[in-house]
Amino acid sequence: MYIYYFIPQLINISLSLDNAIRLTLKNGGAFTSFRFYTEFLPELTIFYRSRYKGEPPYFVIDRNLKLEPSVLPLLIALGVYLKNYHKQSIFLDIENDFTDNDVIRLLLRSDFLYIIGNNTNPTFPIGKRIFQFDQTKIGALTNKQDWRSDHKVRIYSMNDTGVIDVNHIKGEEAKRDFLIEHFSFVVVEHFYSLLSEMGVSENAKNNQVDILSELITNGLYHSGSDAYVMMFNSPYKTICSIADNGIGLQATIKNKEASAYYEPYSIVKELTGKTGIKVSEQIQICILSIFETFYYSMLKERQGLFDLMLNIVVNCQGYFRLHCESVQIIVSARMMEELNELQIIRNEITHLHNTFNLGRIQELEFTNRMIPISQNARTSIIKLAHNIFKKYTEDVRYSALRLLETKFNGVHIETEIPIQNN
């Protein structure tokens, strides 16, 4: 029997059945991120449209729910949003008959319950008081040795130990450099053993560390949110799920500075009105902001979102999913022709940055050489976008683009690598 460090707490709260949102699946299967977006969020939307009477919803987790770990960052991000909206912690009811319970085992051993609750024991993550739940219901699990110690949901914050107030550091690049350096050590500590099992080279592992550090930094520094990350290996695949509850891609792009080879919103301006997809202007801009983000990331010196997409899909034959508001892009090997073209251009850009940083060319030459390469990158991103839009209009079911019923704040990135390629 495991010993748990929850302090029993009686929750005296008046609950109405009309406020209950149940996490369950009537048709069986696992509660995945796809079903989070397509089944759970629409139900939550119906609650606010027809049943909401001033009291926040409370969530009930079915004891038989098969919860995929990649959903945990999404549940945290949703909880933070609702807590901020209602200005109070959200109630969570976890069904437990005090026999063996797989869903509680996942929530507990992944540190999810410590993070979302009011834990003050420094042996575990300090609780963020996102949800409140009856802690006397947690426990009575058998001692199954089927859970890895590094399969934890992680939460990263600007208030973490070791992260100083970067506002005292002069220069935006210097601030980012500090954060990336800090989180590169954290990523190695938390995920390196999982990355090592992917069967890639040492250089590829180091690249993944750099990319994850960059993504976490972006989540904290640009979006103004904490970052929630879960990575786990199963017999069939390796999955990494990264979510934040920040300002989103559109607002982030507005903060980008123009340069000789990058004009903010150039992709959005070029593609506005040319998608062939009949949706609202807000959703159109959200769709185009994703491609704008790919373009900007492609031009950067550091590896980031665009490199993660290429590494997962091109090098590992996996899947890359990016969700923003009510739009999701799924990038797979079916786009290999366009991705190989983008990979070649990205290699040129990386080589040029390295050449400049080593002092082999001056800034003027660097800029003059970057301008035509950035134009080629822009053309290739637009080509990728047009192909995705065309396939969406031909057959929505098999398109890389998904338009969901419900808007969900922040950005969610999910990568999946088949085990045969690990």
Give 18-44 pLDDT, tens digit per residue. Answer: 788 888 766 778 899 999 999 999 999
Q: Are 215 and 386 in contact (CB under 8 A)?
A: no
Q: Is the pLDDT of residue 52 over 70?
A: yes
Stronger pLDDT, 191 or 321, i.e. the higher one: 321
Are 260 and 254 contacting, i.e. CB atoms less than 8 angstroms apart? no
60-64, 176-180, 345-349: range with lowest mean pLDDT: 176-180
Whether 290 contacts 411, CB under 8 Å: no
For 366-403, b/e burial (b = at least 16 CB within 10 A) is: beebbeebbeebbebbbebbbebbebbeeeeeebbbbe
Give the global pTM: 0.87
- Residues with Cβ within 8 Å of 136's Cβ and at least 6 positions away in sequence, in order, are 8, 9, 10
pLDDT number for residue 21? 86
**In this prediction, what percent of the chain has a pLDDT beyond 90?**
45
- Enter the tokens of residue 12: 């005296």
d(CA 277, CA 50): 29
Q: Flag whether pLDDT at 58 surpasses 50.
A: yes
Which amino acid makes up residue 184? Answer: S
285-308 residue pLDDT tens: 999 999 999 999 999 998 889 999
List beta partners, residue 93.
60
Length of the chain counted residue by residue: 422
Count other C-beta atoms under 10 Å from residue 336's C-beta.
Answer: 13
Residue 422: Cβ within 10 Å count: 14
Q: What is the pLDDT of residues 341-351, one digit of tens each?
A: 999 999 999 99
pLDDT band at 99 (very low <50, low <70, confident <90, very high): low
Q: What is the pLDDT averaged over residues 98-120?
A: 84
In sequence order, the 6+-apart residues with CB closer than 8 A to the CB of 268 are 253, 285, 288, 289, 292
pLDDT averaged over the chain?
85
Is the per-residue pLDDT at 98 higher than 60? no
Categorize the per-residue pLDDT at 13 as very low, low, confident or very high, splitting at 50, 70 and 90.
very low
- Residue 402 pairs with which residues in a beta bridge? 328
Computed over its alpha carbons, how large is the radius of gyration of the chain?
22
Alpha helices in 30-149 (DSSP H): 33-35, 41-46, 72-86, 102-109, 112-116
Q: Are 113 and 138 in contact (CB under 8 A)?
A: yes
Q: Among residues 107, 7, 409, 26, which one has the least CA distance to residue 243? A: 409
Contact 243, 76 (CB under 8 A): yes
